[in-house]
Amino acid sequence: MTTATTPTVNGRVIGLAHYAGRAIVESLLPRYGVTFQQLVTLRPAAVADAPVERDELVRQVVDGLKVDPVEAQGAVEALIAKGLLAPEASLVRVTDSGRDLYAATSAETAEISARIYAGIPAEDLAAAGRVLTLVTERANKELAALSR
């Protein structure tokens, strides 16, 4: 939606952009048989050069998606049950099937992302990246303060 005036970045603008992008990803996932949370959980293992500590993977999902550790652990277990991750003592490693699924979903979303970001000047993307990184850091600090 293009408007006559450009809105200042705020929680609503950030949320609308996030949910629009997430809806795209979620619309693709049924054909792969995974959920958004499972795909987010698979990513760190898929891009790692070696097996990853299960607890660290859970921590990354908790930190990234702001979900309960039990929910993140459930995503790990679901990926193991689907044969996309394989347990190795306290570690998990991505399987060939997991790597293939991650590569396929990444390629598909990269094509869509290229269309979404096409024509946006690099300096605007860099500025948005800086602002959103700062907003994320500050929001995480506020969340930590609320959790005490």
Per-residue pLDDT for the chain (148 aa), expressed as one digit of tens each? 555 688 898 999 999 999 999 999 999 999 999 999 999 999 999 999 999 999 999 999 999 999 999 999 999 999 999 999 999 999 999 999 999 999 999 999 999 999 999 999 999 999 999 999 999 999 999 999 998 8
Longest dimension (CA), the chain: 57
Rounded to whole angstroms, how far apart are CA atoms 98 and 39?
Answer: 10
Tokens of 43: 């990513």
Rounded to whole angstroms, how far apart are CA atoms 61 and 42?
Answer: 10
Print burial letters for 84-96: b (CB count within 10 Å at least 16), e (below 16).
bbbeeeebbbbbe
Model's pTM, two decimal places?
Answer: 0.89
Domains and CATH numbers, the chain: 20-111 (1.10.10.10)
